[in-house]
Structure 1
Amino acid sequence: MTDDARADLRASDADRDRVAEVLRDALAEGRLDMGEFEERLEAAYRARTYGELAPLTRDLPAGAPVTPVSFVKRPEPDGGWASRIVGGEGSSAGGVAILSGFERKGRWTMPRRFTCFTFMGGGEIDLREADFADREVEINVVAVMGGVQVIVPPGVEVVVRGIGVMGAFEHPREDGPPEPGAPRVVIGGFAFWGGVGVARKVTRAERQRLKEQRRQERLERRESRRELPRASREDWHEAHRDRHEELRERREEWREEWRERREERRRHR
């Protein structure tokens, strides 16, 4: 916390996410139990100012992997596609799996051309966290009684040009137009008694973020219901009572009708 801190400065979503990351690391290290973690996480996403965020990480180590919240506003680094088009030769040019497997995942650089071969084996090429040597990259696959799974993040354009003989090259599901600046991935090659699958998935961190975002939205809806004006709450309760009374009356009518039909059947016996 700096000397020129202003506790009443409004916090951004990025500030709340940084605090949430510190709390998740503290939970993983055993510094917080699950109850404390959930309580602080809820408070973090409900916080509106830095003064509400700062106490949530004050008793955690200063050397935590994620920088604690600061009261000084700084521009956020560019996390868009432009920062992931890095040029160069790539960190891996290909993969081979003969009665075995290979994988490329995590933080790595996808080259302009990646060539792989599988024979009675399998491979996985995960581009969700990868950097790219160029805006258009190519994956060339030869799969003989084997397969390769390609995983791309949402927003990336995928073009499939491979040929399958008693095999197949799958096309990914389309979840919207490509994002501006996103790379283009061209998948080609040959599959004999094998296959190449393509799937769109978000990262685990993004899934966690979306889960917490939905949880926060539920909390906000619950809070908004608590803050309804008294008159509105009374109107809602009155409408609920009216609906309950209407259903009770209908049930009584159904019971009465059923009794009448039963008595009529008895008379006709």
Structure 2
Amino acid sequence: MTKPAARAPAPPAVAERDIRASDADRDRIAEILREALAEGRLDPEEHAERIDAVYRAKTMGELEPVVRDLPAAGGSRPQPDQGGYAHGPAAPAPDQNLVAIFSAAVRKGRWQAPARINAVAFFGSVEIDLTEAVFPQQQIQINVTALFGSVEIRVPENITLRSSGSGILGSFEVETHEAGDADAPQVHVNGYAVLGSVEAKPKRGAWIRDLRDRLREGHRELRRQVWEDHQQLRQEQREWHERHRAERRERRDRFRKGFDG
């Protein structure tokens, strides 16, 4: 009998502080610094210095010291990014119900999408727009019931969209789509339309990463504004000191003139 081949030793685990920082990690730290600036814990110059350090950081270990002395850093230290789509917090959002009876119900903009959404349209219309939503979990299930009404669903272009619904004397149209990334959010649309309509499809040009890009651009704009305010404050301080020195010289000259006279 031959002996089993010895297993190769497992590679050593990477320490948390040595893990490469993601854009989401930097954005979380920048948000802590923004709150500290608003509360007066940091002055504009300190805030600008720390923001520069945040966006130069390469690893988690370089990010941690930036907020070590701030209250928000103690209980919510940055964690490694769990994937390109993990924008939201770990706690799941509660189920959401959208009901339109002889009326309209709309949910859109930047919001935290729950794992389950129930939409009912009875002689009314429901609009669900997920193109700017935060996805705390990968699986999203939307249960729709359209009775003499309509339900319209829009999702980002780079997520998976599936359906298992049906139309009864109505239309149930879902433009199914499989994302190229296995970690992308998955939206499942189930239900039925009776003398009504259900439509779900990706919104062309809307990508889930666009939200992150806009948030990052917002942080850059905040940094620029804080820097400009700081520069203006320094200029005003210099002008005040110059006026103060000029007044002192003028008083000294008057004193000397009166003394000489």
TM-score of the superposed pair, with normalisation by structure 2? 0.46
Question: Which is bigger in relative contact order (C-alpha 8 A, separation at least 6)?
Answer: 2
